[in-house]
Amino acid sequence: MVGIRRGNDPTGIQERRCQPTGVGSDSPVVKDPHPTAPNTVTDFASLIIVVTSRSLAVLFLITLRCFAAFRIAPLRLSPLLDFAFLETIVALAAAYLIGSVDFGVIVPQLAGVDIYTHGSGNPGASNVLRTLGKKAGAAVMLGDVVKGMAAAGLGDLWLGEAGGFACGLAAVVGHAFPLWHRFRGGRGVATALGAAIWMEPWFGLMLVAAWAAVVAVTKMASLASLVAMVAYVPGFALFGHRDWSLLWVAAAALLVVVRHAPNIRRLLSGQERTVEAM
């Protein structure tokens, strides 16, 4: 009978004590001809896994830290690497697309009318009013005002005051040159008034009241729009807006006035259309 005793061998080689039957315990120690070697492959793989996982964790933390620093203070090496620049582009594009939703086209279409072939051919609230009546004209006016408020609100909440005015301008551009309607849009005054209502509510409401008063007296929506745009920049300046904000305000007012060029010529010649339905 053979008995095996395993002791602590610092060399890693286990000894076998062979004790034949009838022989005492002080038999000679015989080395195991096939010692069990440590599993170096498994140990090495475990080491690699531990090192790799910890390295990835550290790399992840470093990436987060770099991203936070990059986000707070964007690099200026290239505009495409500037998160603030990208946010501005996205906000302006969204505001333009909002402005491109032309209620002056949509509302008449719901009534089976192609507004481009009626009246002045302009997809604006005044032409819809002359063509389809008060309710349709009011719906277009309200829709255009609301989209101006939405665009300015998007920019104001996302980018700040100047961003709100810039997005208001983008909405006016979208209304004048709508992507959804083959870039054939209206004058943009209602959208500009909506942006004013969001950015400076009291002043915006004052502009709407002035517009309505001029229309009520003269029956000329174009004249009322020009009066509102003439007061646009000075009014915002009086309410304390400066720098980039006033620049975007001036650009929006200028665009609306330029879009009224045919109306201005008719006003000067005394041939401007009126809105007798009001």
Considering 24, 58, 73, which residue would you say is the last residue of a domain?
A: 73
Over residues 187-199, the pLDDT tens digits come to: 999 999 999 999 9
43 and 27 housed in the same domain = no
Which residues in the chain come in under a pLDDT of 50? 1-25, 27, 29-32, 34-38, 41, 63-64, 66-81, 277-278
Whether 27 is covered by a domain: the verdict is yes
User: Which whole-number Å values give the CA distances from 128 to 22, 103, 179, 274, in the listed order?
Assistant: 121, 10, 20, 12
- Count how many Cα atoms sit within 13 Å of the Cα of residue 93 in the half-sphere of its side chain: 6
Model pTM greater than 0.85? no
| Tokens read off for 159 | 């980018």
- Count how many Cα atoms sit within 13 Å of the Cα of residue 171 in the half-sphere of its side chain: 34
Q: How many CB atoms lie within 10 A of CB 233?
A: 18
48 and 84 housed in the same domain = no
Which domain does 83 fall in, by range?
79-269
84 and 66 housed in the same domain = no
| Alpha helices by DSSP H, 103-160 | 103-110, 125-132, 134-159
Q: Is the distance from CB of 116 to CB of 184 less than 8 angstroms?
A: yes
Q: Which of 210, 86, 196 is nearest to 151 (CA)?
A: 196
User: Which whole-number Å values give the CA distances from 97 to 90, 166, 172, 199, in the listed order?
Assistant: 11, 14, 10, 19
